[in-house]
Amino acid sequence: MAKIIQHWVKRHSFNLNTLYPKVALMVAAEFWEQGDLERTVLDQQPIVSLWRSVLLLERSHCDKSSNPRFSDFVDKQTGYTTKNILAAPLMNGKDPLGVVMAINKVGGNEFSKADEDLFTKYITFATVIALQHYTSYMYNVESRRSQVLQWTASKVFEELTDIERQFHKALYTVRTYLLCERYSVGLLDMTKEKEFYDEWPVKLGDVEPYKGPKTPDGREINFYKIIDYLLESKEEIKVIPTPPVDHWALVSGLPTYVAENGFICNMMNVAADDYFTFQKEAVDESGFVIKNVLSLPIVNKKEEIVGVATFFNRKDGKPFDEQDEQITEALTQFLGWSVLNCDTYDKLNRTEWRREIAAEMVIYQTKATPAEVQQILVRHHTSSCFKETADCDQREMYKLLRANIPEAKDVDLLLFSFSDLPVSELDLIKCGIRCFFELGVVEKFKVPAEVLTKWMYTVRKGYRDITYHNWRHGFNVGQTMFCLLQTGRLRKYYSDLDAFAMVAAAFCHDIDHRGTNNLYQTKSTSPLAKLHGSSILERHHLDYSKTLMAEESVNIFQSLQKRQFETVQHLHDVCIIATDLALYFKKRTMFQKIVDATEPMADEKEAIAYVSNNPIRKEIIMAMMMTGCDLSAITKPWEVQSKVALMVAAEFWEQGDLERTVLDQQPIPMMDRNKSDELPKMQCGFIDFVCSFVYKEFSRFHKEITPMFDGLNNNRVHWKELADIYQAKVDAIENERKRLEEEQAKKATGEDGGEGGKSKTCTIF
């Protein structure tokens, strides 16, 4: 087409210097304005005739005011003076393909009618060539689009297990059809609500709340992973988890802007852009310089932005055009919709995992039977309720239940030194029921006596018969929580409902424990690890406790109002998840600040108001109480602690054996029974690194809890003595080994030197 125009210009003495973008847009705008008028005023579909689209723009004597539509933008930029223009559009039916302009007639002040007629004839040929080029270009575009969608579809349905792998496979496969030098995909964190323990520092004012940009659905914009496809020379793919803010694809702020607003952004000239902070120089050691950028959101079926795809530098050097936008938009839309496949697959998997876990629970656990309940709710001939339990008045049932459970003072329930070792498991169930009566919550919250008994018995049966994390440990944690509230006088910060929920959660905190820790669940790829991403066992214990709440016959919270029941469930969340020691170091600094704040308060009412009027402080103390309860065996009298420590170690060694035999891995020293002699030394380290802080701070917080700290220190003395004895034996063995080595070395030296160390060649007189 260009050759035809040039030939025509040479023959007819026209000066064709350049194509003016502003003038071309002006011509097209006039056509569109007429079309709008035909639609709105005449109610007709506009038809633009090629022959009527030739415009003659004359500027007599260079008078710029002769035609108000003319823009002198290019003249000012280039210094060229435009006197007259002959322009015509190249049409494809109703759609303009472009504009041809002849500028400044040579040898004349204006284009004549003959010039227009001749120009129109050449425009006919130019249109044919333009249509040929346009058809070829659109064929290429549609071919690319179909290839992109076809290959994307094949890879999307090939990978259903993981959205990251799904995106990666699809985007890598279509790289040859995208015609760009680089592209980068940022995956957004889909978390809408933070964990409650991550919100504590913000709510306490220790950490500034997030003030950055958010997605349209309210999520904080956090690119948790970036996948870079570097195609400008040697193909290279880089996967960057938790990318830094100065990553070359993010530093401009464009992906964040797209994620915030959901816009498609086509930056045709990065160097001239002032809104975003693009790097004007090379972005890395390869010398790659960003020239133009096309960035699009990846949106799923729920209209949530799950990521941002950004394409850099079209290969032919031109800016990305409308066709590029359509191809990449189709790609990102397809990827966004395909997220539904991953979500559905994940939901199916989670359903299957829950079914497996539920089936395992059902097989292993059963609810308390009537015969087992009657072991506690036994009726005497002297009782006024000598009839079926269902026919008894609830007050009579309470009286009957109280008569069959021990008094708190008779079994030392209110002492931190309580030991379960001389108590039978059935009697521990009775002692657990006594705790609730002592709290005064049974009658206040209308807990049926039979339901309370069934619940307590079912919780006991929920614990597996394993070495340490069994019902006895579960009871000890519940008893310690009860003791902290009553004897430790922490009850004053909490309502009766809080105390009810806290003690119940403490009894359930390790229910259905398997005798192995969270790390083993992950390594062995157990269904629990697949279901829960963090605090694996703790979340399982929580789910189990809520399962009991869903069963009417064993739900001790059945008489609560809806809001009260929701409070109980939330407190179970706080208490049971808090027993994960991995979270211990997150919460202990916050607890220490509360202790520092209340310690100088002389007025008890001031301290109570400081804690009880702030729900977050109450939860932090509650969480630390659960840690103190869970570790309380370390504070018991030495006669008890030494036995319990051996049970804990035995369970660890059993896990170590599993790691060797099942996982074919070497266990850590704490789990290695071959290093059992180092138990005293490891106990001292555990006390110093983990336990000491808990009980020291609690003894500062409430002096009534000091006996626990004293017990801890006393046990450390005993463990240190045993550790020193063991170390002395190790040192003696080492010294003996060195002595034998030295003797062997001396003998070897004597043999080399001859008999008695004398020379065989010289005699000294």
Nearest to 197 by CA among 557, 474, 573: 573
CA atoms within 13 A on the CB side of 364: 18
| Residue 564 counted as an annotated binding residue | no
Ramachandran bin of 218, using left for φ above 0, alpha for ψ from -120 to 50, beta for the remaining angles: left
**Alpha carbons 709 and 701: distance in angstroms, whole number:** 12
Helix (H) or strand (E) holding 186: strand 180-188
DSSP 422: T
Has 510 been labeled as part of a binding site? yes
d(C-alpha 525, C-alpha 519), whole Å: 10
470 assigned binding-site residue: yes
Catalytic residue among 469, 513, 532, 540: 469
Q: Check whether 469 is labelled as a binding-site residue.
A: yes
Dist CA 305 CA 312 (whole Å): 21
Radius of gyration (C-alpha) of the chain in whole angstroms: 41
Say whether 509 counts as a known binding-site residue.
yes
Cβ(285)–Cβ(155) under 8 Å? no
Q: 554: closest CA among 511, 514, 515, 513?
A: 511
Q: Is 473 annotated as a binding residue?
A: yes
Does the annotation count 540 as an active-site position? no
Q: How is 92-156 classified by DSSP, letter by letter?
A: ETTEEEEEEEEEEETTSSS--HHHHHHHHHHHHHHHHHHHHHHHHHHHHHHHHHHHHHHHHHHHH
| CA 27 – CA 70 distance, rounded (Å) | 10
Distance CA 634, CA 687 (A): 8
Report how far Cα 159 is from the mean position of its chain's Cα atoms: 22
Cβ 72 vs Cβ 64: under 8 Å: yes
Which token pair is 756?
């008695």
Distance CA(501)–CA(565), nearest Å, equals: 10
φ/ψ of 147, rounded to 5, equals: -65, -40
Q: Would you name the residues annotated as active-site residues?
A: 469
Return binding residues for AMP.
Answer: 469-473, 510, 630, 683
The binding site for Zn(2+) comprises: 473, 509-510, 630
List binding-site positions.
469-473, 509-510, 630, 683
